[in-house]
Amino acid sequence: MLSFDAMRPPARGICKQERFSPVPIVFEMAWLVAFNDGLFDDVKPQQIPGLLERLNEYIADTSPGLDMERSRFSELVRVFMGIQKS
């Protein structure tokens, strides 16, 4: 398991958002679940902004609801990233 210090750069990249440019809450839920599940562990920090932009578009296209179970959010991001469930 990664230490907090090892996760700090990717976490900073994920948490940053432009001032006065809120993102949809369903997108926040998706990346938070994915981050918690370790789906971004192998992503280089410089790739995170582009990945999150594409994920935001994917979430907008698939239109998941906030009432969706946590496991479905995880599966949605796994499909987007092409990750097989282990």
Q: pLDDT per residue over 11-45, tens digit each?
A: 555 666 677 778 889 998 988 888 889 888 888 88
Average pLDDT, the chain: 80
């230490």: which residue's tokens? 3
Q: Using an 8 Å Cβ cutoff, are 78 and 40 in contact?
A: no
**Residue 14 CA neighbour count, 13 Å, CB half:** 22
- The reported pLDDT for the residue numbered 12 is 57
Range 68-76 average pLDDT: 89
Predicted TM-score of the model (pTM): 0.73
% of the chain residues with pLDDT over 90? 14
